[in-house]
């Protein structure tokens, strides 16, 4: 029987690197990684391909060389960068995703079975209009009318993936599409770039480096977050779940929703000299104001047992600042 592989696109991004570390810790070596940059942990994988998800020749080579069981399609341009470069964002986030879905459909056809594909979506698919909505836990079917390029790209791809799972393509070939709408993710060992939720991980990293931080959104701002171990746990749990239990394709997950001031107050318990200043970027502020204050993740909890292991306090004491 042919050896089965896992394909990870965006392998050197934050989720990619942490996912590779997870697989490697479980002894999983059959990983094919694709990214424009080499991941730091490339010695833990079978083969790294340096290139773009828009490169048809490269995708066709990868498709012909390997039999894939699962695909984690993580490559994307995040929200702040997408607003500044809408054309590139459309190419990478939409056209690139369609190419990866097509690769999954080819694999499904060759293997005569549904290929599992994991797609990370985002709270950017929501668009809140006022402060009252910030106080309501937002469920998957509420307020999905994104105004950012990134949110629109993600919602569009969610819908294509869901349709390919349900209806299949014109040849009746289906994929097994599984998607999480992530809140901001905070990692202790990697740094995000191009996102709008980056203020929290940047603030924490600055504190650890004994530097001050100038925050680009106001002190009252509040969006949901989780820490990286919970994000990885969510991906693994969702991908491992028996398909018969999954009534939906797209799920919210969350853990805590502090304001910028609450982040600051927690950080100074560990780094009492940490200085936070503000230099508001109106465009980024507007994006944060439009994202949920609280997420409702009860559907993920009911259908596949999702529950964050790290709450706000524990994230700092047992993960982010655990070595202090």
Which stretches of the chain bind ligand AKB, using CB under 6 A? 78-79, 122-124, 150, 182, 184, 195-197
Contacts of residue 9, Cβ cutoff 8 Å, sequence gap at least 6: 16, 34, 35, 53, 71, 72, 73, 74, 75, 96, 100
CA neighbor of 137 nearest in space, from 174, 183, 74: 183
Of the pair 184, 293, the CB lying nearest ligand AKB is at 184
C-beta of residue 312 within 8 angstroms of C-beta of residue 258: yes
C-beta of residue 253 within 8 angstroms of C-beta of residue 308: yes
Q: Three-state DSSP class for 37?
A: coil
Of the pair 123, 138, the CB lying nearest ligand AKB is at 123
H/E stretch holding 137: strand 137-138
Of the pair 13, 39, the CB lying nearest ligand AKB is at 13
Instruction: Please state the closest distance from residue 78 (CB atom) to ligand AKB, in A.
Output: 4
Instruction: Please state the closest distance from residue 29 (CB atom) to ligand AKB, in A.
Output: 29
Of the pair 10, 184, the CB lying nearest ligand AKB is at 184
Of the pair 32, 229, the CB lying nearest ligand AKB is at 229
Q: Three-state DSSP class for 171?
A: coil
Instruction: Please state the closest distance from residue 123 (CB atom) to ligand AKB, in A.
Output: 5
Instruction: Please state the closest distance from residue 320 (CB atom) to ligand AKB, in A.
Output: 16
Instruction: Please state the closest distance from residue 322 (CB atom) to ligand AKB, in A.
Output: 23
């Amino acid at each position: 029987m042919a050896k089965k592989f896992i394909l990870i696109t965006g392998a050197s991004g934050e989720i990619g690197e942490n996912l590779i570390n997870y697989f490697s810790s479980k002894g999983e070596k059959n990983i094919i990684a694709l990214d424009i940059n080499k991941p730091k942990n490339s010695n833990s994988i079978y083969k790294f391909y340096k290139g773009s998800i828009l490169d048809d020749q490269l995708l066709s080579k990868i498709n012909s060389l390997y039999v894939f069981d699962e695909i984690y399609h993580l490559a994307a341009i995040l929200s702040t960068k997408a607003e500044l470069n809408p054309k590139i964002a459309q190419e990478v986030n939409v056209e690139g995703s369609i190419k990866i879905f097509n690769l999954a459909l080819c694999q499904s056809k060759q293997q005569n079975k549904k290929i599992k594909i994991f797609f990370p979506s985002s709270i950017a698919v929501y668009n809140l209009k006022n402060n009252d909505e910030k106080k309501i836990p937002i469920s998957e079917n509420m307020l999905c009318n994104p105004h950012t390029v990134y949110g629109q790209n993600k919602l569009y791809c969610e819908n294509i993936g869901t349709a390919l799972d349900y209806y299949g393509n014109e040849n009746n070939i289906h994929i097994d599409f599984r998607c999480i709408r992530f809140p901001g993710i905070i990692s202790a060992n990697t740094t995000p770039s191009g996102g709008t939720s980056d203020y929290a991980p940047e603030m924490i990293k600055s504190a650890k480096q004994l530097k001050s931080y100038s925050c680009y959104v106001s002190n009252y701002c509040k969006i949901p977050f989780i820490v990286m171990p919970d994000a990885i746990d969510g991906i693994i749990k969702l991908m491992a779940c028996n398909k018969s239990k999954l009534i939906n394709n797209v799920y919210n997950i969350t853990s805590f929703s502090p304001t910028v001031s609450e982040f600051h107050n927690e950080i100074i318990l560990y780094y009492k000299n940490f200085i936070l200043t503000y230099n508001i970027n109106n465009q980024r502020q507007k994006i944060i104001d439009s994202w949920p204050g609280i997420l409702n993740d009860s559907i993920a909890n009911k259908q596949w047992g999702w529950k964050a292991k790290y709450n706000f306090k524990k994230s700092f004491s047992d993960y982010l600042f655990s070595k202090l």
